[in-house]
Structure 1
Amino acid sequence: MSRFFFGKFDSKRPIQIQEKYYAAGDEGDSWYGGIEPGDYVFIVTNSSVIALWKVREYGNKMNPINPADTGVVFFDEVKQLAQPVPVSQFVKSPYFNVDLNLLNKISKSTFGCGFFPIETTSIFPREQWDQLSFQSERHFFVTLSTQLPPIVENDVMVVINNLQEARITAFLEWKGGQSQPYHGLRKLYEEKNSENERYTLHELLAFAEEEAPYKRNYLTSALNELEKQGYFVVSNPAKLYDNILVGRRRTPITKPGPTSTTQSSAFSPESLVEEEWPENFEQYRTYAELLEFSPNLILYGPPGTGKTFATKNIIEAFEYKQQKRYVPFNTVEKEERVRFITFHQSYSYEEFIEGIRPQLDDGSEQERGGGDIHYKVESGVLKQMVEAASTQIIKAESQLSGISGTELIRTNSRVWKVSLGRRNDDIIYNRCKSEQHIAVDWLDQYDLSDKSYNDIYALLKSERDDDAQNPTMDANTLDTMINQMNKGDFVFIYDGPWTIRDIGVITGDYTFLKGRPSPHIREVTWLKEFSEPMDISDMNGGVRLTLKTIYELPRIQMSDVQRLIGDVDASATTILKAQHVQQLPYYLIIDEINRGNISKIFGELMTLVEKDKRQNISTILPYSKKPFTLPRNLYIIGTMNTSDRSIAMLDTALRRRFVFVEIEPDYSLFDQNNAKVGYVELALLLKSMNEKISEKIDRDHRIGHAYLMDVLTIDDLYKSWYYKVLPLISEYFYNDVASIQSVVGTRFIEKSGSFRFLSTLPSSPETISEFEKALVSLYKGSEA
């Protein structure tokens, strides 16, 4: 007997659908999923089922998918569906037994296989293709054991014991007017969750609170509906699987890659379980490529199109492009490689780049009404990100040169000025350079490992005459060497009042070398020896270096260190090699970028954001008087709502330096998530309204899919409609009643302009509610 499969065809390769073949090399390749001549395949593309084909034969065909291998499988068309069937609707068909393939593989990115078997039921019209229709749907419910939802033949129930515990106890199917065990779904549940990991809904919600916002919303809606009416209507079985049946999502695990990568792109993360890979990854590949083309990207579009949400997926796609492995966005956050900010009308240069902040010298004096005020230059968000990104460049380029120890460097690593020996006497300096450490003398008979500043001061005092100068400076030096310095800090080796001769990074803890001159040491790795003394006065704010043996240089920042290490004596070969070193990217996401005064906020840095100006051109900042440049591994992603301001009104200089991507309302997302809630088809509803808004105002004021994406129940739809969508449309039309009614009809708006709140309760289980009926009429064109 012939078997049935669904096959996933890339919409970016339409030639395979047009010419009815699939190119994955010779028969037996894993991408074919074991299909054989005579098998039937439902064709899935763009998250919809479009046709039923029959496998004809394996053969050879020159094709653009895999020019090096002509092996393909050919198909014959059995039935072209009149309308594409969203996968969320297809999986609810009573034609099929629900299993992992239908609940997960059909709607998720999969790698290494393009065809998956499905099991048909007794009512499937085998060989009677004219009767094949997907209008009939089986319904899925999560229901309390004491409640019978409004079920009909073939419907499926996931049974919960009670509200207090909310534990899954049974899987039932309604057949012949009674319930019976639904073994397939129970088997899947038990396979995916070991006995001690079959969590209650309350436990799943607690797990999802912080790290899984969609799962949190889903579980919250389910529990609310269970409390309200005793059952929860599942609009998309795939989401039931994701949010309830698979339990707690764990860390992705690796698996061997597929035997062939014919159908996979360079972005296919074969090392991941497909369930863990983010949905719609492919659509963000283009944005990741754009970010590589230009480090400055702006996503623009109507409100609610998911621009801010898209930045997270773009970063994940870009991380994969850079590192060839999947890095979740929350990992990038934990590594402090991304920052979110929002521009507004009062946002300033001082907040963005740097500014002067007043500070009291002594907080305790402030309480008594005293204390002197001084002014300090503080870095803004962009400058902080520059320092962090510069730190990564130092580490990457040092690793390129084979220098060890730089992995200890931190964004908050401190910089210390260190004198090695006396002026014009290089004995100690040469010894420290050759032995890879820094050293100081005083108290050369004592191991100071556990000594505090007061201990050190007392020891110094005891060794000196009563009339000798207080040993404060020497105690500070020793205390800094022993207690203040940390591994990963930088040392600048003193040459003169304005110059240094070397840069090193501290790689070891304090060590006492008994019997050696200058016995107090810390191991260092030398990063840079200057052929000529290097003037750092501009980086140090024009302040002279003093003869004190060790003290901090707080004005020197990571970008300064990176410039000193990377720019001096850098040969063309080194620069070329550095381009291939893995430099972790850093991201600054600017929400509502069009709401700020761009010229005022960016100031003289507008020129520096250009790709070819990064690390090539610097400017002097007005407050710190220091040279400043942007590193090449810092990426700026902005978002803007076109309903606030169009691109044409943006600062011209900004438009020249950023690439722009329009994010439009994406109606196909409803097919993947919740195509239908109750009787309302969300995609058709939103599309109908947007067509009217485009005609009445313009396309910039359309409504994004995000306004309805979290809608799981009629109650959710009611709240989104009355408290999000209608107020937005009223604002668009300045409360012009006639214009508002031209978009949302007359049933929701009184002549006075007040909202009319319609009932969500149907008069009987078989009828439609007044609220749903009014919404359906908006896209079906009837007020009846």
Structure 2
Amino acid sequence: MTYSSNGFKTFLRNERKSNGEAYSNNTVSQYVSAVNRAAHHAGFDLWSSQSEEVDNFVQKFEPGHEFEEFGAQGNNTVISALRLLKRYFASSNSYLLTWNPEKYHVGGNSGVELGNEQQWSCNSTKPQVGDRVYLMQVGVEPRGIIAAGIVTQESFEDKDWGDETKTRKYIKFKPVAVRNTPEAGQQILNQLNQLSQETGINYSWSPQSSGISIPNKISDKLASYWFIEDSLVEEISMTNNSTTQVSQPLNQILFGPPGTGKTFTTIERAVRAAEPNFSWANRDELKAKYQELIREGRIRFVTFHQSFSYEDFVEGLTAHTDDEKLVYEKRLGIFRQIVRDAKEHQNTEVKNPTNSFSDCWDAFLTEFEDHPEGVQISMKRSKFIITEVDGNTIRFDKNQGDSVNTLSVSTLEAIFNGERRFNGGLKPYYQSLISHLESLGEQLDKKAVKRQNYVLIIDEINRGNISRIFGELITLIEPSKRSGTTEALEVTLPLTGDRFSVPDNLYIIGTMNTADRSLAGLDLALRRRFDFIEMPPLPEELKGVSVDGINVEKMLDVINRRITALLDKDHCIGHAYFIHLKDRSDVALTDLAEIFKQKIIPLLQEYFFEDWQRIRWVLNDQSKASANAFIVKDDAINFDELFPGDVQLNSRDRWRLNESAFEQATSYKRIYEVGSAE
């Protein structure tokens, strides 16, 4: 089995506590961090070890043993995590379920849907609740895996679906990912067949029985292709995603150091959330769809920063001059705007829908353009004429008097949608205008409202003051509290007095650079309501990338291990800085030099606050010949010449970049080739 921290995360997410509850995302992160800290404390190479070695390693943290005190940290969090780690290394919880559409005409991917529990024949009684299963099409081409899921009910007997006079063994599982046709699964099989050859395991992907166990050494690799909550950037989903549907959480935050592909992955996840059935053949098609959804307003983007506020995000006041008078108007923030639009497309198709405010308002604006002199609105005993519409302001003339009178478009919309009651002196004008809008709506062609998903991307979500920005709305974004659910909640907004709720077709995707701020310091209210998806550096994504004999994968891995030892894993360097070298045939040393000069060295300067000595350690400059060191002492400064006479000056070392080192392949190789100085 290929053991990894991501694989351990998957294992923990599938595990259950003694009371049957699942581990929370925060607990999963804590446990993974705990085992990594324990391995570092003991000097143990955890993820390349075997099950027996891990047993001995864990034993050292048990009461009465060498690292007992360390194991008791965090109210025994460390030892609890290590005990689960033993189970992970001993587990083989993956099985193949088969489906031959020529022989069996029921079942198969035509009946498998995300989130809907499936009953499937399984001759083995070994699969337990929480184990992983994969549904594989056999007997016809293309062979391939068409669904992955988690076992929800262990082996039981029921009537044979083909012959009710007999019985058959079944299990139940809940799909987490489905491919409508097996072509993408076939691509996975090609890779796994190659992996089988590398590991020396003669494993057949054409099982004759349903419920065949998958060997440990390849089951984790298979999981990485299907269970995207492991935070792995799936190359398959990027290059051949014509058939993939993936269930996503309503609230998620991608976090990791710079250059780990957070923005790259956000585009995919946003498109998946907005259009779950959309397929693409390459990255260009994905980005084109992303831009199309942005133009339609179904994907919107905002960046948090230190001065970003509730008034910017939800609602606030904006000031402007009108006839040399200062006027304050209520303004909807980006969150209220996208909530409003999402609500209009929250419900599934209906036969006789009520026209939305936006439809009626558009009809009114068309009417207003056709009547430049103004639109007359009838009241019970009088009338008024709308003379101007400017942004959020509606200006009108009363039947009597010369005063300037205004209405607010946002207030009009809130009253129209039943979100606000208005009892002021302008109430008759609002009511009359709403009646006029409704009459315009009745003349519009009746069209069904189709449910559509909306996505709000919040970049740098950790840089804003979450309590200040979300305010009382932090509770409303919980999936169970969204409108459309049985536990739906709504609040009354303090500024406008509108009743407000968040619909269940609005996805929120945040990104967070851990080099800017630690995850531990993030607002706890936010952490409870979001799924946190780690985006770690993946040097293995650079496998095979060589520049003048420089192993880029190994170089990045060594750099990050040194940064982790000197700082922490939140300040590592992402593989994305080098990823463009992967697909180029004409890559040269000058390309690598540019990356180091423009990206890597400035990033290290920021991480270590200009501590050049430590930066030298990261780059192994202390072990290189001076000609190959990226950072060398600056001997150009002569203190005796600059400060003549009896001056007591404690001069410190001065450093400079050695430009010639960037042009030598040896300078980069010696980052990971440890030995005596040349």
| TM-score calculated relative to the size of structure 1 | 0.45
The answer on whether the counterparts of 2:254 and 2:534 sit within 8 Å (CA) in structure 1 is: yes
In the TM superposition, residue 337 of structure 1 has moved relative to its aligned partner by 0.7
**Shift in alpha-carbon separation, 1:774–1:555, aligned structure 2, 3 A:** farther
Paired position in structure 2 for 1:278:
238
1:753 aligns with 2:655: yes
Paired residues for 1:240-319 under 5 Å: 278-279=238-239, 288-291=246-249, 295-319=250-274
Residue in structure 2 matched with residue 729 of structure 1 by the alignment: 604
The answer to whether structure 1 residue 546 and structure 2 residue 546 are counterparts is: no
Match of 1:668 among 515, 540, 543: 540
Q: Deviations over 1:124-151 (max 9, x none)?
A: xxxxxxxxxxxxxxxxxxxxxxxxxxxx
Matched, 1:389 2:501: no
- Cα shift at 1:589: 0.9
Identity of aligned residues (%): 30
SS in 2 for 1:608: coil
State the match for 2:22 in structure 1. Answer: none
Query: Cα–Cα, structure 1 residues 738 and 621, in superposed 2: closer, same or farther, change >3 Å?
Result: same
SS of match in other structure, 1:631? coil
Map of 1:76 onto structure 2: none
1:61 is matched with 208
Aligned-partner SS, 1:374: strand
* Secondary structure of the corresponding residue to residue 356 of structure 1: strand
Partner of 2:592: 717
Distance 1:680 1:318 in 2: 40
Q: Which amino acid aligns with 1:592?
A: E
Q: Distance in 2 between matches of 1:643 and 1:708?
A: 19
User: Which structure has the greater CA radius of gyration?
Assistant: 1
Rounded Cα–Cα distance in structure 1 between residues aligned with 2:611 and 2:269: 39
8 Å CA contact 1:537, 1:543 repeated in 2: no
Alpha-carbon distance between aligned partners in 2 of 1:548 and 1:405, rounded to the nearest angstrom? 19
CA separation of 1:535 and 1:600: change in aligned 2, threshold 3 A: closer
Determine the structure 1 residue equivalent to 2:475: 607
Q: Secondary structure at the match of 2:319?
A: strand
Q: Matches of 2:302 and 2:451 in 1, distance apart? A: 23
For the residues of structure 2 that align with 1:340 and 1:266, how far apart are their CA atoms? Answer: 27
1:623 and 2:505 correspond:
no
Aligned partner letter, 1:414: W
The DSSP-based 3-state class of the residue aligned with 2:300 is strand
> Structure 1 pair 640/543, CA: closer, same or farther in 2 (3 Å)?
farther
Matches within 5 A, 1:92-111: none
User: Aligned equivalents of 2:205 and 2:363: distance in 1?
Assistant: 70
CA contact (8 A) 1:670 1:683 kept: yes
Q: Give 1:313 shift.
A: 1.1
Q: 1:337 to 1:58 in 2, by over 3 A?
A: closer
Task: State the alpha-carbon separation in 1 of the partners of residues 279 and 464 from structure 2.
Answer: 36
Distance 1:415 1:754, change over 3 A: same
Alignment of 1:533-682 (within 5 A): 536=418, 538-540=420-422, 542=424, 544-546=426-428, 550-551=432-433, 583-615=451-483, 616-671=488-543, 675-682=545-552
Q: Report the equivalent of 1:260.
A: none
For 2:541, the aligned partner's letter is L
2:270–2:299: 8 Å Cα contact kept in structure 1?
no
Write the distance in 2 (CA, Å) between the matches of 1:58 and 1:602.
50
The one-letter amino acid paired with 1:378 is R
Q: CA 1:773 to 1:472, structure 2 compared with 1: closer, same or farther past 3 Å?
A: farther
Kept after mapping to 1: 8 A contact 2:630/2:661 = no
Deviation string 1:718-738 (CA, Å, 9 cap, x unpaired) is 111012101111221222222
CA distance in 2, matches of 1:659, 1:542: 44
**Counterpart of 1:625 in structure 2: which amino acid?**
G
How many Å apart are 1:15 and its aligned residue?
Answer: 7.0
In structure 1, what residue type is equivalent to 2:669? Answer: V
**Take 2:466 and 2:227, find their aligned partners in 1: how far apart are those partners?**
37
Change (3 A) 1:603 1:451: closer
User: Aligned pair in 2 of structure 1 residues 554, 645: CA closer, same or farther (>3 Å)?
Assistant: farther
Query: What is the SS of the residue equivalent to 2:578?
Result: helix
The answer to whether the 8 Å contact 2:251/2:508 transfers is yes
Instruction: Please give the root-mean-square deviation of Cα atoms over the aligned residues, in Å.
Output: 5.2
Q: Distance in 1 between matches of 2:374 and 2:189?
A: 81
Over 3 Å counting, the alpha-carbon distance change for 1:660 and 1:548 in structure 2 is: closer
What do residues 414-451 of structure 1 show as CA deviations (whole Å, max 9, x unaligned)? 2999xxxxxxxxxxxxxxxxxxxxxxxxxxxxxx9997
Deviation at 1:344, TM superposition (A): 1.0
The C-alpha deviation readout for 1:223-269, integer Å capped at 9, x for no partner, is xxxxxxxxxxxxxxxxxxxxxxxxxxxxxxxxxxxxxxxxx9899xx
Match of 1:403 in 2: 352
* Structure having the larger proportion of residues in helix: 2
Query: Following TM superposition, by how much is the alpha carbon of 1:28 offset from its aligned partner in structure 2, in angstroms?
Result: 5.1
Secondary structure of residue in 2 paired with 1:758: helix
Give the residue type in structure 2 aligned to 1:656. Answer: R
Q: Which residue of 2 aligns with 1:93?
A: none
Q: Displacement of 1:778 after TM fit?
A: 1.2
Q: CA shift at 1:25, angstroms?
A: 5.4
CA positional deviation for 1:547: 6.8
SS of the residue 2:291 aligns to: helix
- CA–CA distance in 2 between the matches of 1:305 and 1:449? 51
Greater Cα offset, 50-59 or 382-391: 50-59
Q: 2:569, 2:596 → 1: CA distance?
A: 20
Distance in 1 of aligned mates of 2:516 and 2:368: 62
Change in CA separation of 1:652 and 1:52 when aligned onto 2, cut-off 3 Å: closer
Q: Aligned equivalents of 2:632 and 2:308: distance in 1? A: 40
Task: Report the equivalent of 2:616.
Answer: 741
Q: Give the whole-Å Cα distance in 2 for the aligned partners of 1:56 and 1:623.
A: 65
What SS does the corresponding residue of 2:327 show, helix, strand or coil? strand
Q: CA separation in 2, counterparts of 1:780 and 1:585?
A: 51
| Offset, 1:690 | 0.4
Q: Is the 8 A contact 2:270 2:509 kept in 1?
A: no
Q: Is the 8 A contact 1:300 1:307 kept in 2?
A: yes
Separation in 2 of the partners of 1:282 and 1:691?
37
Q: Deviation per CA, 1:108-139, whole angstroms, max 9, x where unpaired? A: x9xxxxxxxxxxxxxxxxxxxxxxxxxxxxxx
Distance 1:614 1:15, change over 3 A: closer
2:141 to 10, 23, 29: 29
Q: CA separation of 1:339/1:680 partners in 2, compared to 1, >3 Å: closer, same or farther?
A: same
> Aligned partners of 1:756 and 1:543: how far apart in 2?
76
* Distance change (3 Å), C-alpha of 1:677 and 1:14: farther
Residue-pair matches, total:
418
Deviation at 1:618, TM superposition (A): 1.7
Shift of 1:305: 0.9
Contact 2:273–2:454, Cα closer than 8 Å, also in 1: no
Deviations 1:499-539 (A, max 9, x none): xxxxxx9xxxxxxxxxxxxxxxxxxxxxxxxxxx9995834
User: Are the counterparts in 2 of residues 301 and 663 from structure 1 also a CA contact under 8 Å?
Assistant: yes
Distance 1:300 1:745 in 2: 28
TM-score normalised by L of structure 2: 0.52
Partners in 2 of 1:775 and 1:300 — Cα distance? 29
Change over 3 Å in CA distance of 1:676–1:48 after alignment to 2: farther
Unaligned runs of 5+ in 2: 1-91, 97-133, 145-187, 229-234, 281-285, 395-412, 442-447, 622-628, 634-653
Q: Distance in 1 between matches of 2:436 and 2:523?
A: 36
Task: Map Cα deviations across residues 297-329 of structure 1 (whole Å, 9 max, x no partner).
Answer: 111111111112211111233345x44656732
Letter in structure 2 aligned against 1:754: R
Look up the match of 1:71. Answer: none
**Displacement of 1:385:** 0.9
